[in-house]
Amino acid sequence: MSFSEFHLLSVLAQEMNMRKAAERLFVSQPALSQRLQSIEKDWGSKLFLRSQKGCH
């Protein structure tokens, strides 16, 4: 895992919200979502459950 992947996952775990995590990472929400999907595909596992109320 690269530092950027760790940082992305760390911020997302702290915020538990894609929009807020994207703001903290200075990226768009769609870009963050795509990066997370790429990480999950590489690892072969869902890391966060997404819902209207945030990530779990």
More confident residue, 46 or 55: 46
Task: Determine contact, residues 48/12, Cβ cutoff 8 Å.
Answer: yes
- The pLDDT score that the predictor gives to residue 49 is 80
Q: Report DSSP state, residue 45.
A: S
Q: Is 51 helix (H, G, I), strand (E, B) or coil?
A: strand
Give tens-digit pLDDT for 11-54.
999 999 999 999 999 999 999 999 999 999 999 999 988 777 76
Question: What counts of helices (H) and strands (E) characterise the chain?
Answer: 3, 2
- The pLDDT score that the predictor gives to residue 1 is 63
